[in-house]
Amino acid sequence: MGISFDVPGQAADAVPDPVDAAAYAWVVEHGRMDPDALAAHLDRLGLDPRAAEEALARLAGWHLIHPDTQDPTRMHAREPQAAANAACAPIEARIAHFQEEMARSRARMAAFLPHYLDAARGQAPGQGVEVITHLPEVRAALERASAECTSEVLASQPGGSRVPEAMQEALRRDHALLSRGVRMRTLYHHTARFNGPSQAYVEAASELGAEYRTAHQLFGRLIVFDRETAFVPLSDGSWGAVVVRQEALVAYLCEVFEQTWALAQPFISAAEEGLELVAQEIDRTIIRLLAAGLKDEAIARRVGLSLRTARRHIADIMEQLGAESRFQAGAAAMRAGLLDD
Residue 163 or residue 149, greater confidence: 149
- Identify the helix (H) or strand (E) that includes residue 260: helix 247-263
- pLDDT tens profile 224-239: 999 999 999 987 777 8
pTM above 0.75, yes or no: no
Q: pLDDT higher for 282 or 338? A: 282
Are residues 253 and 141 part of one domain?
A: yes
Continuous H helices in the chain: 18-30, 35-44, 52-61, 80-110, 113-120, 135-148, 164-179, 196-207, 247-263, 270-273, 275-291, 296-303, 307-321, 326-335
In-domain check, residue 329: yes
N residues, the chain: 341
Is the backbone of residue 2 left (phi > 0), alpha (psi -120 to 50) or beta? left
Q: How far is 188 from 213, CA to CA, in rounded Å?
A: 6
Of the listed ranges 102-106, 119-123, 296-300, 331-335, the least confidently predicted one is: 119-123
Quote the longest CA-to-CA distance of the chain. 84
In angstroms, rounded to a whole number, what is the distance separating the alpha carbons of residues 134 and 279? Answer: 37
Paired with 242 in beta bridges are 131, 232
Question: What is the model's pLDDT at position 162?
Answer: 60
Boundaries of domain holding 52: 12-78
143 and 71 together in one domain: no
Strands 211-215 and 183-189: parallel
Question: How high is the pLDDT of residue 70?
Answer: 76
Low-confidence winner among 206-220, 242-256, 326-340 (lowest mean pLDDT): 326-340
Name residues whose C-beta falls within 8 Å of residue 183's C-beta, 6 or more positions apart in sequence.
Answer: 151, 152, 153, 209, 211
Going by pLDDT thresholds of 50, 70 and 90, the confidence category of residue 200 is confident
Cα(224)–Cα(252) distance, rounded to whole angstroms? 11
What's the domain count of the chain?
3
- At 9, is the secondary structure helix, strand, or coil? coil
Same domain, 72 and 27: yes
Q: In this structure, is residue 132 part of a structural domain?
A: yes
Q: Which residues pair with 244 in a beta bridge?
A: 129, 230
Average pLDDT, the chain: 79
The domain that holds 71 is classified in CATH as 1.10.10.10
Q: What are phi and psi of 4, to 5 degrees?
A: -160, 165
Which range, of 7-16, 59-68, 92-101, averages the lowest pLDDT? 7-16
| Same domain, residue pair 123 and 86 | no
pLDDT reported for residue 276? 60
- 195 has pLDDT over 50: yes
* Residues 245 and 188 grouped into a single domain: yes
DSSP states of 75-108: EEEPPHHHHHHHHHHHHHHHHHHHHHHHHHHHHH
What confidence score (pLDDT) does residue 271 get?
47
256 and 180 part of one domain: yes
Shared domain for 30 and 117, answered yes or no, is no
* Same-domain check for residues 144 and 253: yes
The answer on 292 and 220 residing in a single domain is: no
Q: How far, in Å, are 103, 191, 298 from residue 99 at the CA level? A: 6, 18, 16
Does residue 319 fall inside a structural domain? yes
**Are 40 and 11 spatial neighbours (Cβ–Cβ below 8 Å)?**
no
Handedness of CA 12, 18, 22, 23 (dihedral sign): negative
What was the pLDDT predicted at 4? 54
Q: For residue 340, tell me if it sits in a domain.
A: no
Do 53 and 93 share a domain, yes or no?
Answer: no
Q: Is residue 107 part of a domain?
A: no
